[in-house]
Structure formats: structure tokens, C-alpha cells
Structure 1
């Protein structure tokens, strides 16, 4: 092979190597700099969403509970200031169940500060457990919707009443929980997620 042929072949080889290096460099640039397809940005976004979804719900309120009036009855005073991150924001006498002649009745609002998630609680007390049971039976019997939970209310291992929780509006995802504890009856209404968290941690 002549020196001119060797020089020509050597030049072609260098050109091929340089071209290959340019292609590799461009591929790396495309993968990791722009548009960055090798960095799997979509995957990172999904991981962030999964982390956010798995974050536990808060268990302490971020807002202050409203003080009860100084002349509040023992029943009203027994209502907790907060349940998980729901703080009591309203408490007033009410007359929803007047026909059942309770000794006293109140309507309370528990809120996280996000109004659409508020829970409205009606509570009333009777002189005997039979009267309270009659009111529970009336409320639970009239409750329409899909069952979420039901069973006995137990205090120190003893059954003191019953409870039922239903989705009352599938479109708006509203739910209602009704329960009796001896002489007292409760009815909590609000969004399904709020009700499921609220009633299960309510101390009475």
C-alpha cells in the first residue's frame, strides 16, 4: 500500500471516530440535558404524588376551639374541644328533636379550618336509656344510603348502645353517623372522609 493510500485510510478512520464521538455526545446531551428523557421526570412526579398520598392525616387541630359559655350544662361541657384535627367552632342550643322531648339538645360544628370538611354534630340527652334508644331507633331507621359501619357502643367492655354510619349521598359523598351511649344520642353529618375519621375517635 502506498503512503498516499495509508494517509487517506488513516484520515477516513479519524473522521469516522470523530463522527461517532459527536453522535455519542449529542445522544448524552439529549438524554440528560435537553429534553432529559433519560432522567424519568414523569417517574419522579409519580413518586412525589405517592409520598403525598401516603402522608398521614393530622391528629391535632390547627385552629383554636371556641370557648363554651360560662353557664354551659354538664352535657355541653362534656363535648370535646377537638377530635383529631377537628376543633369545636360553634355550640348552641337546638330543637331538631323537640318531638322526642329530650332534657337538652345542642348543635355543634367541628372544623379543620377547611369549611367543606366541617362536621355538624347534634347531641341530646334523655332521662333514661330507653327514651334515648327510641330516638336512636327512629334516627337510624330513617337513615337511607349505603352502610359503612355498624355495631355496639361499648364502655369498659359493656354495651351501652349502638351505632350506624351510612353514605347518605353518593353524588356529594356526604355521610351520617348516629350512635347512642346510654342516655345520650349523637348524630354527625358531613363529608364521608370527615365522618369516618370523626365518629371513630369521638370520646363519648
Structure 2
């Protein structure tokens, strides 16, 4: 199903990888959630990690993908390893920040922005590395930390820092696509919680 989804994505986008990482992450988490009904986000992530570590002889080998080249060049871990380690960016950054921002009174849109920024602040995003190298990755991480330190997306100071980060990333022609994929995973796991504070599809 995941490979069919990826093929359809590439067909629609004329070969541009817009969300391969999200297909990978959400596919694993959907399967894990089915196996771990009524489980915590942590338990589902652990189950997804076990699935991600299974040998897959039919998996396509593409050693020259952007992500693979970046991992080799910089010695970093990519989307596959993030999954195999139980999605630490989701469990340790995304979900805690999402809930902390909600408790602080941020609206749902700003809480989700803060969750994205928390992931960006720590993630070795191979999309950014591919486009902008280590300089771009450092700018992304430092900029995301600056937004959160200033009060997050709901605060005036945080919005100013966010605008500055947006301009910097545009100037580098770099987009944190890996972090965006993991935000999708964060929101998916959040919606599996027994008492989600906002309806599915809310802004």
C-alpha cells in the first residue's frame, strides 16, 4: 500500500518527492496502531520501530536518492533510522511541545507550529542538508529554538523570530520536509489519544 501511495505521489507530482517520508512514517504508525489498540503513543512508536526493522527483500534499492546521498556524505541518520528508533523526534519533541503549548493557552494552529519547531530544533533534517548543507541545518535548528525561546508562535516576539526564520530558509532555498513529515506523525499519534483537545481536521 505504501509503495502504491508513493508511486501515485510521484505520478501526480511529475517525479517530485513531496512526502515520501510521511507515507513511510504514517504507514508504519497505522499498522502499529492496529496491532496496539488502546496503547499509548510511546507503545505504538515502539511497535512501529519493530516493523521498520523487519527485513524487506522486496524493498526497492535506491542508493542514489537525495536522502541516501546526504546520509553517506554527512554520516547522519535518515527517515528509516528515525522510524527504527521509535520516532524520537515525535515522542521526545513533537508531542511534548504540542501538549505544552496547548496547556499554555496557545490556539491549536500555534500549538502545532510549536510542535513543528520543536522537531526542527533537534532533527537532522536530510531535506535541509540536501539543499543547504550544514549551514542550512544549523540555521534551521537555531532559528527554531529562537522562536520557542521567545514564547512560541502564539507570542508577538515568537512570531517575529518565526518570520526571520522563514525568510532565512527561503533565502537558502531549504525546506524542512523531514520535520514536516514527523509533524504529520505527531498529529496522527495525538489524535489517537482518548481525549483529543481538538477535532480531527481542525485548524
Q: Tell me the TM-score normalised to structure 1 length.
A: 0.22
Higher helix share: 2
If asked which structure has higher relative contact order (CA below 8 Å, sep 6+), I would say 2
More strand by share: 1
Greater Rg by CA: 1
